[in-house]
Structure 1
Amino acid sequence: MLAESVNINSGTMNLEGVRKTGELFRAEFEALGFETEWQDGAGFQRAGHLVARYAGADAGPKILLIGHLDTVFEPDSPFQRFAMLDDTLATGPGIADMKGGNVIMLQALAALRAVDALDQLDLTVVLTGDEELSGHPLNLSKKALVDAAAHADIAIGFENGDGDYRTANISRRGASDWTLRTTGKPSHSSQVFREDIGPGAIFEAARILHSFQADETLRGEQYLTFNPGRIVGGTTVTDNAADNSGTAFGKSNVVAESAFVNGDLRAVSREQLLRARQRMQQIVADNHPHTSATIEFEDGYPPMAPTDGNRKLLALYSRVSEDLGFGAVQAVNPLRAGAADVSFAADHVEMAIDGLGMSGSEGHTVEEKGNLESLPLQAKRAAVLLYRLAKP
């Protein structure tokens, strides 16, 4: 199952491949007695999502299980096939991120069915088709997740976390974008800095970026990061946000009239995100003479804060691991974990955890590897965790 799913190219924009991967997993959920639905993604320019439901007759807490079908490897990537590297290590596109996690989820559910414990659970599974490159608008792209979370008490994600089976995620930093635009007074370069000319748009953008980096409020916030990823400046500039490109025309002897910078902002809580945005706006507003600047923020993945409920769920999971002889499980440092779909669910449930998928390394590269020994280990831990959640 793992090899078969990895060998289907499901790069996010390969809509047919994502749907084909969804059909492969759909058949497995239906064989376990789940009712399934494919939610079409035309409204957000993606393939869509697989949703599977199982409401047992003696169901306990409502639990949401989260995975994704897509990978970062499109059909033009040279990385396309599953291959064994040795007895315990395999490679392939999306093996750890996160087709291995989807298989682990199925294995855990099959174990529960084998001991007639599935009927004690109320389960919703959402396997998204756009985790690696979210569709827009986000309120449509993530609606399946948010709707399922609103129905649930607990959310469990089967991403690969930081690649170490001894850890799990109880917090994830959100990821949002910002765009800075500056303007200056065009003039001959020999007059730059003159009282009635000023430094121009590029110097103003540089002032703001340097101030972001040097600001004690921003740099002093634990887990907060901000990064300018693209900058364009000159006499005239164009910005093609659709493909993250831009053009500039300018001469070395002309004071720049326009500049823009695109970047991202990552925070561990909504409160931290709002504080950072407010401070960035204050810095942007303190303009050099004869320049102006604006900054716009675009919401992306929300933060998943480390709540008491999440800590409680990690403690339960760690106890399961210890009882199985696999040792304790520690929380992943949020700096070592990117954004993930569980973040859209976390604010709607009492407890959330992520990182229960396949251990691996070098994700998002053509060297991606999966630790095959982690598949049965993680499946056992997930099965017993679900069993104990059904029987508190």
Structure 2
Amino acid sequence: MQKIIQATLFAAMVLPAGFAGYAQEKGGPSAEISALAARPVVKKAMQTIIDLEPQTLSDHLLLTEIPAPPYKEMKRAEKYAAMMKAAGADSVWIDNAGNVIAKRKGRNGKKTIVLEGHLDTVFPEGTDVTVKHRGDTLAAPGIVDDTRALSIVLTVLKTMEKTGIETDADVLFCGVTGEEGQGDLRGVKNLFSDKGPGKIDSYIAIDGWDMESVTHRGLGSHRYRITFKGPGGHSSGAFGLANPHNALGRAIHYWAVTADSFVRQEGVRVTYNVGVIGGGTSVNSIPFESWMEVDMRSESPERLGGVDKLLQEAVQRALQEENQMKQSGADLTVDVALIGDRPSGMLDSSLTLIQRAKAAVTFVGGTPKLRVGSTNSNIPISKGIPAVTLGSGGRGGNAHALQEWWVNDNGYLAIQRTLLLLLAEAGIAK
């Protein structure tokens, strides 16, 4: 009942008390968002979002229960494409990277704006994704990250169709593949490649749940799988062969020592981590291979490159020393495979898109918080294209865990915020 009362009051008032005066005083994007929200068709759209709450939740639950493991998003993509088509998009297709793209044509089409959520989750094939209802709490792997975003993108499209809002710019409503882990942002990278839909002028991603967050800085990362290889043999009978585990241990030690000194230097924060190691067949065998997967991150390309250089030096030093120490047999070799490359970057917080995002958050009653993150927006940010990642609203927790949960605590506010920002970017046709 409380939510119904709140929704009715919002629909009747549209502008929060005192906001109109604030917008006039401050001017710029705040006044723009205020004026946009006061337009009759936008008022109608804001109420439509509230009216669509049951459908939004139904879409959310349906999509959550369609598994989308890394590199296996197609089943969910096919359903999402059908839902986009039913919602009224002018054209819908699945591209060569598995992205769902629904185009809503603008009056002049001089610009193209993207609104997206990512299709994939972190959970492997076979994970039970059935949604559990525990009072007002919904629990399932991936229910927040990022399935809620997919339902938001779909509801914004439905709202624009139901209210007849026409934009100047073309809008691409997207479900994007490969955001998580070793997906390495392959979906959004494809959108900005020569295989993509064409020039993109601004980019709005929905990820996470904090309705107040505005991510405008990209936390870049390099990820490697490093494998030392040798002939291997019996621990006693072949003693004296170069040992891949010895080389791996040296490499980890040398990198940790030099990287520790590097990260303590004054400058933009940089992190490093050895996350997974493996290799070997038995306790009495010299392994034929030893491998590790490592991760390093920074929003500074220079700092990221610096800690990467230290890794490469540590690996080559370890390889050389182990080969020099062996008593017999062939030299070890090493394979350094880049398995993840998320570019870093930062957009000036005075950029119009970012100021509009902050104004839209403020309009629906939040306090905007600028932040850094590793999301699909990394790609456009690294290219200097206006981009933000916004949260999907409500309350959630345990992201990337089997116990992931979400509560629809005024979740419609995040959808209204998203619509306002999208319309400010795309322009309402006169």
Distance in structure 2 (CA, Å) of the matches to 1:279 and 1:379? 44
Distance in structure 1 (CA, Å) of the matches to 2:109 and 2:187? 29
Distance in structure 2 (CA, Å) of the matches to 1:126 and 1:352? 15
User: What residue identity is the alignment partner of 1:276?
Assistant: V
- What does 1:47-86 align with in structure 2 at a 5 Å threshold? 48-59=98-109, 61-74=111-124, 76-78=126-128, 80-86=129-135
Distance in structure 2 (CA, Å) of the matches to 1:183 and 1:390? 54
CA deviation after TM superposition for structure 1 residue 14, in Å: 4.9
User: What residue identity is the alignment partner of 1:361?
Assistant: G
User: Aligned pair in 2 of structure 1 residues 141, 119: CA closer, same or farther (>3 Å)?
Assistant: closer
Structure-2 residue corresponding to 1:241 = none
Structure-2 residue corresponding to 1:270 = 301
User: Aligned pair in 2 of structure 1 residues 293, 311: CA closer, same or farther (>3 Å)?
Assistant: farther
Deviates more, 1:283-292 or 1:273-282: 283-292
User: What residue identity is the alignment partner of 1:272?
Assistant: R
CA deviation after TM superposition for structure 1 residue 114, in Å: 4.8
Q: Confirm whether residue 225 of structure 1 aligns to residue 271 of structure 2.
A: yes
- What does 1:320-359 align with in structure 2 at a 5 Å threshold? 320-324=360-364, 326-332=365-371, 334=372, 337=373, 339-348=374-383, 350-359=385-394
Relative to the length of structure 2, the TM-score reads 0.69
Give the alignment partner of residue 17 of structure 1, picking from 65, 71, 75: 75
Describe the SS at the equivalent of 2:149.
helix
Structure-2 residue corresponding to 1:211 = 254
Distance in structure 1 (CA, Å) of the matches to 2:387 and 2:78? 29
1:276-306 per-position Cα deviation (integer Å, ceiling 9, x unaligned)? 2222223334454715775624152422412
Structure-1 residue corresponding to 2:342 = 302
Question: 5+ residue gaps in structure 1?
Answer: 42-47, 191-196, 233-245
Distance in structure 1 (CA, Å) of the matches to 2:193 and 2:336? 25
Give the alignment partner of residue 128 of structure 1, picking from 168, 173, 176: 176
User: Aligned pair in 2 of structure 1 residues 346, 62: CA closer, same or farther (>3 Å)?
Assistant: same
Distance in structure 1 (CA, Å) of the matches to 2:232 and 2:65? 55
Q: Confirm whether residue 167 of structure 1 aligns to residue 213 of structure 2.
A: yes
CA deviation after TM superposition for structure 1 residue 124, in Å: 1.8
1:107-166 per-position Cα deviation (integer Å, ceiling 9, x unaligned)? 233444455433323212331244336569x87894235454851111110111xx3222
Deviates more, 1:139-148 or 1:204-213: 139-148
Q: Which has the larger radius of gyration?
A: 2
User: Aligned pair in 2 of structure 1 residues 181, 364: CA closer, same or farther (>3 Å)?
Assistant: closer
CA deviation after TM superposition for structure 1 residue 358, in Å: 4.0
CA deviation after TM superposition for structure 1 residue 263, in Å: 1.9
1:17-60 per-position Cα deviation (integer Å, ceiling 9, x unaligned)? 324432443334xx33331112255xxxxxx2211112211456
1:344-381 per-position Cα deviation (integer Å, ceiling 9, x unaligned)? 33334521101332452112222111231253111110
Q: Confirm whether residue 3 of structure 1 aligns to residue 61 of structure 2.
A: yes
Give the alignment partner of residue 38 of structure 1, picking from 89, 94, 98: 94
User: What residue identity is the alignment partner of 1:275?
Assistant: G
User: Aligned pair in 2 of structure 1 residues 22, 312: CA closer, same or farther (>3 Å)?
Assistant: same
Q: Confirm whether residue 117 of structure 1 aligns to residue 165 of structure 2.
A: yes
Give the length in aligned residue pairs: 353
Relative to the length of structure 1, the TM-score reads 0.75
Structure 1 segments (4+ residues) deviating >6 Å: 138-141, 183-190
Question: 5+ residue gaps in structure 2?
Answer: 1-58, 326-331
Structure-2 residue corresponding to 1:239 = none
Structure-2 residue corresponding to 1:92 = 140
Give the alignment partner of residue 226 of structure 2, picking from 159, 180, 194: 180
Distance in structure 2 (CA, Å) of the matches to 1:257 and 1:12? 29
State the superposition RMSD in angstroms. 3.7
Q: Confirm whether residue 376 of structure 1 aligns to residue 398 of structure 2.
A: no
Describe the SS at the equivalent of 2:135.
coil
User: Aligned pair in 2 of structure 1 residues 146, 354: CA closer, same or farther (>3 Å)?
Assistant: farther
